[in-house]
Amino acid sequence: MQPARTTVTGTAGTGRRSTRRRWDATDLSLVAVFAALIAALAILPGIPVGPLGVPITLQTLGVLLAGLVLGPARGTAAVLLYLVAGLIGLPVFSGFSGGFGVLAGPTAGYLLAFPLAALVAGLLTLGVLRRTHKFRVVLLFLAALTASLLTIHPLGITGLMINAGLPLRDAILVDVVYLPGDVVKDVLAALLAVSVHRAFPRLLAAKPPLRA
Amino acid sequence: MRTHPEGRTLLEPLDLLLAERRISVIGANGSGKSTLLRLINGLLLPTEGTVAVHGNDTRTMGRTVRRSVGFVFTDPLSQLVMPTGREDVELSLRTLRLSSGDRRSRAGEVLRRFGIDHLADRSSYDLSGGERQILALAVVLATEPRILVADEPTTLLDLRNDARVRSLIAGLDQQVVFTTHNLDFALESDRTLVLDAGRIVFDGPADDAVAHYRQLCSCAPLGGP
Amino acid sequence: MRGFGATLGLYEPGRGFLYRTAPAPKAVASLACAVAVIAWRSPTTTAVALLLTFGVLIVGARLSPVRVLRMLLPAAPVLGILALYQGLAQDWLRAFVVVGGITACLLAARALTLTTATQDLLDGVVRLVRPFRRLGADPERFALALSIMLRSIPYLAGLFVDVRQAARARGLERNPRVVVTPLVLGAVAYAHRTGEALAARGLGEGDLDEDPPDDRTGP
């Protein structure tokens, strides 16, 4: 066998991040793992909260986190990947459901709103993280709340009207029940996102040039 | 010397030609072993200087280099991405652009060659640590890279599985570069590098290197020479 | 969370004509079921869709009717509430149309994933995405992302269980932040490890044909 030749010369630092615009394997993996995180949060039993222990399911938390942690592009991609996986039949939606059937179900509007929610949350997050280091939790909470009020609730109500045949008033009443839980999830999402960005500061930061 | 924007130099300047069949790298945690291995297949790029494999620069020919250099990690679970072993081997074979029928039969051959064809359709979560590491080796070697780089491939294994993985590696045709904390394993190589704080402090035959390393951490066996 | 893949409703080996049918026609039939149910909301459509999906699963995958019903168990609470609401607020025929339609669609989707090996399903998705290559889609990377996602769900579910137990041990299980923070940080770290392992295998970096024009040139 021909002896292999490997030459190593020079100094090594952490010259990992390139300024390449194309996603590398880590970006791809982040998108995939966040899609899995949304699925895991949707499938797993809810966490009991507060003195009454009312369980909240965490699917929308996963969706908002994708935007707040990965930013608009990768965040939206993660949510789209999650939706595609569910639509081709993998039971990753709440209650172990999946398949094109959910498009006929009452929650179709909420599901279709998710990528938009991640997009809006991600765009707002980029604006916050690039501009300020102060009040990040409050600002990211507002980003999450804005995203869910602009996308998830209106589209969810529309879906209830079309697929479950509810009149507008009833649809709004059904939707409003979820609002307090959503505010809790928005707070949680903001707290989590700030922790993640502190632990992995390079996730959304403007990528530094390779050389000083 | 130039420093990285983050100001941390992981490996001091070095000049190496690695041509032996079995090369081991030993040293304390954080001494730069993993950095050295990651340089070889272009997972890390040097801030200064060049790394070349068979004349291909990892900076400009990264993909070509990665195709000829297989990399095995300490924890096989972070390496295996598909639900079952067979599918993971087929995923590796995708880079060779085979038809799906060819992929399937090649995957079967590879699993048989490594003696794990009976585990092919089990979830990688259901395998033992040793079986997982052998599967990770099969997955990486399926594309027949010319060099195998292994980062502490036996650290998470019990004694029996440690022996299994070591004998498997010993029987490979490929050039193998590995790191280990197991000095017996290091002795099975033709050449050993000892790293300390990002610097190569010894480079030579395995037994001399191991003796040097023992002295370095003042853990020479009592009554030794 | 071992064996989570089975409860995830993936492929289970078996016999019957569904297993011998290519993924594409099965996917088309599953989609057609959803379209039909949404487009024509009539009792007849729902009845036909329900009979067809039940019949095909029993004959084509050789399942007992009980097993088919058991596949619906996880979705039963939601379906039950919806049926009750529709029945009380409107009428029971309407409830049958809506809930029966959804049930048929769930079964049709399950028929596809039950009888198609994951790798074949992914190959099918890759073929489906291929025509969009010109618009910048990369079918191989898409399929890879999908399989990493599937692979990560059991890992994250196991992590979630561990983290909850750790929180309970500290008496903090009612604090969602304590429960979810390690899960999310663990997920990000896991993604980084997986990304590195993929890069090491030469996967997930886009087109495999050539080295990309690299802007990481040295001095």
pLDDT in tens, B47-73: 888 888 888 888 888 888 888 899 998
The C-alpha of A12 sits at a distance from chain B's nearest C-alpha, in angstroms, of 4
Residue C134 at interface with chain A, using a CB cutoff of 8 Å:
no
Residue A10 scores a pLDDT above 70: no
CA distance readout (Å), A128 to A19, A63, A64, B67, C33: 22, 18, 15, 41, 45
Best residue of B59, B75, B91 to probe chain C, by most C CBs closer than 10 Å: B91
pLDDT tens string A72-124: 999 999 999 999 888 876 778 765 566 666 777 777 888 899 999 999 999 99
The answer to whether A187 and C112 have CB atoms below 8 angstroms apart is: no
Kind and range of the H or E run holding B57: strand B56-57
pLDDT of residue B32: 86
pLDDT of residue B119: 87
pLDDT of residue A115: 95
pLDDT of residue A16: 41
The answer to whether C62 and C14 have CB atoms below 8 angstroms apart is: yes
Residue A210 scores a pLDDT above 50: no
Which of the pair, A90 or B193, is modelled with greater confidence?
B193
pLDDT of residue A11: 54
| Cross-chain Cβ contact B79/C2 below 8 Å | no
Residue B35 scores a pLDDT above 90: no
| Cross-chain Cβ contact A8/B40 below 8 Å | yes
Query: Which residues are paired to B70 by β-bridges?
Result: B148
pLDDT tens string B92-145: 887 787 787 888 899 999 999 888 888 888 877 778 888 889 999 999 999 899
As a whole number, the mean pLDDT across chain A is 80
Residues of B in contact with C190 (CB under 8 A): 78
Tokens of B115: 């003696």
Residue C78 at interface with chain A, using a CB cutoff of 8 Å:
yes
Task: Give me the phi and psi of C61, to 5 degrees please.
Answer: -120, 5
Please state the rounded mean pLDDT for residues A7-23: 51
Residues of C in contact with B125 (CB under 8 A): 2-4, 154
Band (A4; pLDDT cuts 50, 70, 90): very low
Give the count of beta carbons closer than 10 Å to the beta carbon of residue C213.
7
**What's the length of chain A?**
212
Architecture of domain A23-199: Orthogonal Bundle (1.10)
The C-alpha of A171 sits at a distance from chain C's nearest C-alpha, in angstroms, of 12
Percent of all residues in chain B with a pLDDT value above 70, rounded to a whole number: 92
Residues of A in contact with B50 (CB under 8 A): 7, 9-10
pLDDT of residue C215: 37
pLDDT of residue C37: 79
pLDDT of residue B205: 93
Band (A209; pLDDT cuts 50, 70, 90): very low
pLDDT tens string B160-184: 888 988 999 999 999 999 999 999 9
pLDDT of residue A48: 58
Of C150, C208, C212, the CB nearest to B83: C150
| Cross-chain Cβ contact B81/C194 below 8 Å | yes
What is the mean pLDDT for each group of 10 consecutive residues in chain C (219 residues)? 43 81 84 80 88 90 86 76 78 85 83 78 75 72 84 83 79 75 91 89 60 37
Specify the residue for token string 């599985």: B161
CA angle, corner C212, sides to C219 and A122, nearest 5?
95
Residue B173 at interface with chain A, using a CB cutoff of 8 Å:
yes
Cα A143 from Cα A122, distance rounded (Å): 8
Return the HEC string of C157-182. Answer: HHHHHHHHHHHHHCCCCCCHHHHHHH
Band (A151; pLDDT cuts 50, 70, 90): very high
Residue A19 scores a pLDDT above 50: no
Domain layout of chain A by residue ranges: 23-199
Band (B79; pLDDT cuts 50, 70, 90): confident
Cα C23 from Cα B39, distance rounded (Å): 42
Which of the pair, B20 or C138, is modelled with greater confidence?
B20
The C-alpha of C135 sits at a distance from chain B's nearest C-alpha, in angstroms, of 22
pLDDT of residue C201: 85
Cα B154 from Cα B140, distance rounded (Å): 16
Residue A56 scores a pLDDT above 70: no
Minimal-distance CA residue of chain A relative to B172 = A1
A-contacting residues in C 182-211 (Cβ below 8 Å): 183-185, 187-188, 190-192, 194-196, 198-199, 203-206
| Cross-chain Cβ contact C9/A85 below 8 Å | no
pLDDT of residue A49: 54
As a whole number, the mean pLDDT across chain B is 84
Pairing of strands B147-151, B69-72: parallel
Best residue of B48, B53, B78, B151 to probe chain C, by most C CBs closer than 10 Å: B78
Best residue of A6, A28, A31 to probe chain B, by most B CBs closer than 10 Å: A6
pLDDT of residue A53: 53
Question: What is the reported pTM?
Answer: 0.75
